[in-house]
Amino acid sequence: MWDNAGALKRITRWLMLLVIVILLGAFGVWIYNSPYFPVKQVRIEGEIQRTGNKQLQTVAQKYIRGNILKADLNGAQEAFAKLPWIGKVTIRRRLPDTVEIRLVERIPVARWKDSALVDSEGNLFKAATDETFPEFEGQPGTARDMVNHYNRFTGIIRPLDLHIVKLEYTARSAWSAELDNGIVVRLGRENEIDRMQRFADMWPSILKEQEKYLEYIDMRYKDGFAVRYREKPQEEDEPSEEQDLAAETPNRQ
């Protein structure tokens, strides 16, 4: 073999390649452990309103320090994600000396049975706040659906200057919404969006003038609705305690 020039050349090339790989590996280890590539800048981006700067700085200082290649970005990401108001975290190295952190805060939509908050994506989370939010009362796993319905209902009644203070989704899949004027709108188990729209259509011309007397409005009729009065208007022709205000009132659903 030693007289075979071709074989010697191949062995020489493999040895040279092996030496190069070893040198590159050693260089990489040296860079990884070197004090000469420190993190000099940490950029925190995003619209942060509810998370304190001190909390963010504490996490960054704990995990993102020393050599930029050894900075514990995974640990930092997990720690940021545990902060109550933080919904999404993205962290990237920008060589030679910068770490970029992109944070997205949760947008609170409602309170969940007085035990948690619900964000705009239907996630439950616990965080301290004195802000006022509508209350959701639903079954486990329905928060996202309730956020979607809340947004659609709100879009329908907002032009009427009405607001939902409590949204309920029962175990029987029935919807009802309590408004800020104290009136409950019962929507039932199907066609709830159309029924809310029908309520909105009838509110200005039929229902608004009786607003202070109404306890609830039942929209679970095909072509009409029924109301219950909390207090009878002081008029000659007083309405009954529960009165149908529809020309046609078939079975409710």
For the CA atoms of 179, 183, 186, 187, the dihedral, rounded to the nearest 10 degrees, stands at: -40
Q: Are 162 and 181 in contact (CB under 8 A)?
A: yes
> What phi and psi, each to the nearest 5 degrees, are found at residue 188?
80, -160
Confidence of residue 7 (pLDDT cuts 50, 70, 90): low
The predicted pLDDT at position 231 comes to 60
SS3 120: coil
The CATH superfamily label for domain 41-105 reads membrane protein fhac (3.10.20.310)
Domain ranges of the chain: 41-105, 108-229
Structure tokens belonging to residue 246: 């529809």
The predicted pLDDT at position 48 comes to 93
Interval 199-207 mean pLDDT: 95
- In sequence order, the β-bridge partners of residue 248 are none
Q: Which long-range contacts (CB under 8 A, 24 or more apart) does 184-190 make?
A: 184/215, 184/216, 184/217, 185/216, 185/217, 185/219, 186/216, 186/217, 186/218, 186/219, 186/220, 187/219, 187/220, 188/219, 188/220, 188/252, 188/253, 189/253, 190/253
SS3 26: helix
Instruction: Looking at mean pLDDT, say which of 1-5, 11-15, 137-141, 239-243 comes out highest.
Output: 137-141
Cα distance between residue 166 and residue 74, in whole Å: 39
Query: For residue range 12-32, what is the model confidence (pLDDT) as tens digits?
Result: 677 677 666 665 555 455 445
SS3 32: helix
The predicted pLDDT at position 70 comes to 83
Q: Which CATH number fits domain 108-229: 3.30.420.40, 3.40.50.11690, 3.30.565.10, 3.40.50.9100?
A: 3.40.50.11690
pLDDT of 236 strictly over 70: no
What does the DSSP 8-state code read for residue 210? G
Interval 132-142 mean pLDDT: 95
Find the largest Cα–Cα distance for the chain: 124
Q: Which range has the worst mean pLDDT, 12-16, 33-37, 125-129, 170-174? A: 33-37
Confidence of residue 248 (pLDDT cuts 50, 70, 90): very low
The predicted pLDDT at position 35 comes to 56
Query: For residue range 41-62, what is the model confidence (pLDDT) as tens digits?
Result: 999 999 999 999 999 999 999 9
- In sequence order, the β-bridge partners of residue 229 are 214
Query: For residue range 63-104, what is the model confidence (pLDDT) as tens digits?
Result: 998 888 888 999 999 999 999 999 999 999 998 889 999 999
SS3 127: coil
